[in-house]
Amino acid sequence: MKANEAPEKLWWSEGAVWQTNPDSQRYIEYIRTDAFIEKAAEWIKNKAERYIVDTPLCSYFDYKRAVEDFRNYIKGE
């Protein structure tokens, strides 16, 4: 199967076969690397500038808030 034909996400559970639509919380979710990279790049492109903080003395990147928001974005929250 070619990468672009594979589903973006798969779920697996011990003793079970791969699923494309899991029906319980016991499944482990796996995501294609290229799909993950694309989603991460999209977030950086569209959201990263929001975390640049300008003060009278300096500018900095609020990485703690950015990391938390990025984690939620990747999780789909």
Q: How many whole angstroms from its chain centre is CA 55?
A: 30
Q: Are residues 2 and 24 in the same domain?
A: yes
- Residue 50 and residue 73 in one domain: yes
Q: Kindly state whether residues 26 and 50 are assigned to the same domain.
A: no
Q: Write down the pTM of the prediction.
A: 0.60
Pair 46, 73 in one domain: yes
The number of folded domains in the chain is 2
Same domain, 25 and 42: no
- Could you give the CA distance from residue 4 to residue 6 in angstroms, rounded to a whole number? 6
Could you read off the pLDDT of 25-52 as tens digits, one per residue? 667 777 778 888 888 999 999 999 999 9
Range of the domain at 61: 38-77
Do 25 and 49 share a domain, yes or no?
A: no
What mean pLDDT value characterizes the chain?
A: 79
Q: Are strands 52-54 and 59-61 parallel, antiparallel or unpaired?
A: antiparallel
